[in-house]
Structure 1
Amino acid sequence: MAKQLRAGVIGSGFIARVHTRAIRDSGHIVAGIASSSVQSAKNAAAELNIPNAFASWQELIASNEVDVIHICTPNEFHAEMAIAAARANKHIVCEKPIAVSGSEALDIQAEVLTNQVGFAIPYAYRFYPVVREMRTRIQNGEAGAIHLMHGVYLQDWLAAPESNNWRVDSTAGGNSRAFADIGTHWCDLVEFISGDRITALIANTSVAYETRGGKKVQTEDIASILFETSNGATGSLTASQVSFGNKNKLEIELDGAKASYIFNQEQPDKLLVGGQSSNQVVTRGQETLTCADAKRLSTVPSGHPQGYQDAFNAFVADAYAGFQGKVVDGVPGLIDGLRSSALIEAVLESAETRAWVQVKSVANVLTLQ
């Protein structure tokens, strides 16, 4: 039996709580927490039954009582914290984007590789069982050659003009918001499922409201993207955080020569397979899934919903297994964080120049590997 790892969580917002539940569900220990203030850390520790509230994130990272650092803070702190964790020889789980610039992402890479620590990024939508089923079927050729990849990622939490959040601030969140925050999730998932890569894109970004909270909005509410892939497919994505009635609609459709495959994150127990004469709905369950990895991730009986927290729990369990030397397919790691940084930079460049932009390949981004 693998030993329990001890986690330290930096941050006390909603996503830190998702991380905390997942750490415990995977059989590991939440040893401590740090937040924006000592009192905030103490409050979170008391509420979440965490034994140690650290005075600062630096103290948490330095502690000998912690093996893994979970970075759940505003984006501007990700690089500094990840670099410090790597230098302290701690494994890292860092929320996306891993940095606010490509150069910062490369700085993280250098320290992670130098210190040989584990690194995982929570692209947890990969861990829905029907996503693994979709991936296996498509990569086995059941859809035929993929011609078109398209979809949306729509939210409404910033749809009202009075809505505001630290992510709107380009200093705290980076120069991209809608694409960096949710569009990268969509791109990671479509590339993971298809095994293909976005090579070039043209993007348009826009804001719904010029100001929020009395300050000029400098990050996009909406990103619309056309793209081409290495295997010759074309595609499109609309990412929006101002679309009323959509809480978290991540939908992907891959259209091939033999069939279409459709996944909607708000209905995660269903996979739609489209055909010319009939459609098929594949539901999650041991008797309906054909992929061994999908069956592994299907942990509750058929007909009982399995959702986001379950997927996140599976992500943490597999990431920690990787930290302990086990080879686990599909865990999003440093290479995927760097890939997202390259896509963010391409989107920002294209939106500014209003022209097609080549996306840096992973080989070019991973300059130290």
Structure 2
Amino acid sequence: MTTGVIETGVGTIRTGVLGGGFMARVHAAAAQAAGSPLVAVASSTPARAADAARRLGAGRIEADAAALVAASDIDVVHVCTPNATHAPYALAAIAAGHHVVCEKPLATTTADARRLVDAAADAGVVAAVPFVYRYHPMVREASARVARGDTGTLLSVQAAYLQDWMLAASDDDWRVDAESGGPSRAFADIGSHLCDLLEFVTGERIARLTAVTRRVFDRRADREVGNEDIAAVLAELGSGAVATLLVSQMAPGRKNGLVLELHGTGESLRFAQERPEELWVGGRHGSQLLLRDPATADAASARLQRMPAGHPMGYQDAFDNFVADVHTAIRGGAPDGLPTFADGLRAAHLTEAVLASAERREWVEVDA
């Protein structure tokens, strides 16, 4: 068993990355920003691994995932591979003694997600899922306002996550194949982010839901489509607040339109991911637009503000903050709001509930 940082404690945290696509680049950049050397990468073929190593600045390539996981000079493995491989790769990394950052969905079934949660707990490793929208400072500002009672009693939630990258029948991706992407695509891929953000900011959980899904094209290019393009969800939170959620990868002009709006008896709050420097605060007798400013922010928000006011922060900054918190946890700290494999399991429960409701056309209780 490799031990790495589990024994060395505060020493340098060394990173290995499985995968070579866009998310691997984001993970690698965040690890390097945290001062972690990118020791090695592995991809689906040696040629792709070599290309990824060049682009990401890795020290070496490994022949395959098994070789990377077996490496004794890696402390944390980032799993950035197709969805169906997440569970076996993450389990192998845990068994080898590594800490793990696994892309969402953590697994394509709740059984596999629970197996990962249990394995990480038994091994005593840090195991995190990058629900990184939690790491926008203005999201933390929103959650702080809810926690201290400014919003009052939560009444309703209006939320959406809209993209357009799968708009045409010719738009194709491995995710449309259920064997690689899993039984859910739009909801598991981006709806999971939306629900995590909703539950994180409100401090409440979705208790029950009813859903409709739509698959617009049965085939894309030369591939059979095995999962949904659109999901619409009506949900009830634990307090009785009602929520509507629309998730689509076929909304023309929407590139990454994640929006969360809360309505309470005291105020409303609206965060839009494409305008991450702002938080809209609505009141019956007037509204205001709060701009990110570490000088006036809540402490939970200020700790994530790497730049002074007026110097925009964005998605990579949020990801950098997430990986920095992973490293803090590896060194024995307990950073507030770090999304773990338990949050990945929660997303798997919600995904299965959405698919079950859509199939049966009925309300479904969401497992804890």
What's the TM-score once normalised by structure 1's chain length? 0.96
Identical columns (%)? 43
Deviations 1:41-62 (A, max 9, x none): 1111122221110001101010
Deviations 1:190-221 (A, max 9, x none): 10001000010000000222221133322100
Q: Distance in 1 between matches of 2:224 and 2:358?
A: 18
Aligned to 2:238: 230
- Is 1:331 equivalent to 2:341 in the alignment? no
| Backbone CA RMSD of aligned residues | 1.0
Q: Distance in 1 between matches of 2:205 and 2:54?
A: 45
- Is 1:179 equivalent to 2:187 in the alignment? yes
**Structure 1 stretch displaced more, 101-110 or 20-29:** 101-110
Whether the 8 Å contact between 1:71 and 1:94 is mirrored in structure 2 is yes
Whether the 8 Å contact between 2:53 and 2:61 is mirrored in structure 1 is yes
Whether the 8 Å contact between 1:178 and 1:221 is mirrored in structure 2 is yes
Q: Distance in 2 between matches of 1:191 and 1:106?
A: 20
Whether the 8 Å contact between 2:113 and 2:341 is mirrored in structure 1 is no
Q: Distance in 1 between matches of 2:118 and 2:195?
A: 24
Aligned to 1:151: 159
Determine helix, strand or coil for the equivalent of 1:85: helix
1:113 is aligned, of 93, 118, 121, to 121
Whether the 8 Å contact between 2:14 and 2:73 is mirrored in structure 1 is yes
Aligned to 1:202: 210
Aligned to 1:358: 365
**Structure 1 stretch displaced more, 208-217 or 315-324:** 208-217
Q: Which runs of 4+ in 1 moved over 4 A?
A: none
Deviations 1:31-84 (A, max 9, x none): 110000111111111222211100011010100010100000000100100110
1:288 is aligned, of 293, 296, 299, to 296
- How far did residue 162 of structure 1 move? 0.6
- How far did residue 286 of structure 1 move? 1.8
Describe how 1:64-79 pairs up with structure 2 within 5 A.
64-79=72-87
Q: Distance in 2 between matches of 1:27 and 1:163?
A: 37
Aligned residues: 360
What's the TM-score once normalised by structure 2's chain length? 0.96
2:135 is aligned, of 103, 116, 127, to 127
- How far did residue 119 of structure 1 move? 0.2
Aligned to 2:309: 302
Q: Runs of 5+ in structure 1 lacking a partner?
A: 362-369
Determine helix, strand or coil for the equivalent of 2:333: coil
**One-letter amino acid of the structure 1 residue matched with residue 91 of structure 2:** I
Aligned to 1:346: 353
Q: Distance in 2 between matches of 1:348 and 1:207?
A: 12
1:321 is aligned, of 328, 346, 350, to 328
- Is 1:55 equivalent to 2:63 in the alignment? yes
Determine helix, strand or coil for the equivalent of 2:211: strand
Q: Distance in 2 between matches of 1:119 and 1:103?
A: 17
